[in-house]
């Protein structure tokens, strides 16, 4: 069952009111992306950034979503059997996912991931997407995603996927 929303937190689109400079998750690449690139990617329609906030300013966590495609041949046979036989299939990329160090270990990561998956599922009703794809930054991230059903792609051990049908089961 998906995590319940924390009472004082909400997820919203990244805006100019959010304190990007005050965010630190302990991974320089993720911190720098939020500070320097996220807003630009949004303006250029490369990705959309969602932030978790309790006060509309401080960022407790964030994630990005964008369109993606997967080679059908890169997926396990058990998944391929349920998909159309096109060379590429549409997917949703959960490109970046980070929690501020001051909020890590408090269950907010699960809430933020469920928000990303629910948005992906809702968008897939209007713009086709067969799976959610993530690139796990390290073994800890990989373990986190595995707890929610993500599986490694055989050709890229840090790239993981969750079929949209499985995502739908999380919210049924």
Q: What angle is formed at CA 17 by the lines to CA 11 and CA 23, rounded to 5 degrees?
A: 70
Map 23-61 to HEC letters: CCCCCHHHHHHHHHHHHHHHHCCCCEEEEEECCCCCCCE
The DSSP bridge partners found for residue 50 are 13, 63
Residue with tokens 């959610």: 132
Residue with tokens 């160090």: 101
Active site residue 86: no
Map 141-168 to HEC letters: HHHHHHCCCCEEECCEEEEEEEEHHHHH
Active-site choice (33, 62, 145, 148): 145
Cα separation of the two ends of the chain: 9
The DSSP bridge partners found for residue 87 are none
Residues with active-site annotation: 145
């Amino acid at each position: 069952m998906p995590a319940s929303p924390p009472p004082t937190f909400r997820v919203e689109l990244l805006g100019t009111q959010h304190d990007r400079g005050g965010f630190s998750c302990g991974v320089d690449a993720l911190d720098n992306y939020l500070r320097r690139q996220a807003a630009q990617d949004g303006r250029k329609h490369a990705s959309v950034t969602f932030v978790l906030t309790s006060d509309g300013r401080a960022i407790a966590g964030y994630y990005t979503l964008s369109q993606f495609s997967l080679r059908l041949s890169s997926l396990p046979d058990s998944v391929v059997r349920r998909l159309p036989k096109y060379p590429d299939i549409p997917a949703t990329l959960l490109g970046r996912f980070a929690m501020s160090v001051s909020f890590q270990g408090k269950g907010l990561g699960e809430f933020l991931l469920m928000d990303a998956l629910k948005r992906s599922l809702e968008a897939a009703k209007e713009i086709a997407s067969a799976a959610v794809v993530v690139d796990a930054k390290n073994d800890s991230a990989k373990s986190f995603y595995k707890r929610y059903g993500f599986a490694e792609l055989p050709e890229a051990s840090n790239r993981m996927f969750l079929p949209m049908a499985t995502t739908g089961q999380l919210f049924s």
